[in-house]
Structure 1
Amino acid sequence: MQFFKSILAVASLAAIATAADVAAPIEARQAASPCYSTQKLTWNTGQIPGSGGWGCVTNLKGGCKTYYWTTELPYYSCA
């Protein structure tokens, strides 16, 4: 009986060590807004005048992973 308890204890420790080695999945993150804190990021299809705005590279969840400057409508504007 002592032998079986020893094997069970070693197996439990091995399982815990293996679980700790597994890396956590990397989550897609939402990029910070390129606007000032007093402004709101607004989808612009031409209703807000200007010479350009922010395009979005989407992540796997549909949010913006990064923003880039573009002059082709539609784009996001800081209003």
Structure 2
Amino acid sequence: MHLDTDFGGHPDDACALAMVLGQPGVEVVLREQTLRTVVEGDVLRFEPHPGGRPTRVLAGLDATAFPETWLTAVETAHRTAA
């Protein structure tokens, strides 16, 4: 998972980071990796590349469980706010 650090313009990044940190069993590991952007059809993604830009990345997230956990948290917050 990649979270950029432009929190001033993207408050959803801060929400995503808070969600990640609250996941059971998450071991937060920040490391630097050289990445480049790749466009495939309508999808923009990052991939490791020796000539890429040095980027800090977050590792240790259960990517399989995250979407369901995130959706549950958003639905719960919506019900609580209503």
Q: Which TM bucket (shorter chain)?
A: under 0.3
TM-score w.r.t. structure 2 length?
0.24
The structure richer in helix per residue is 2
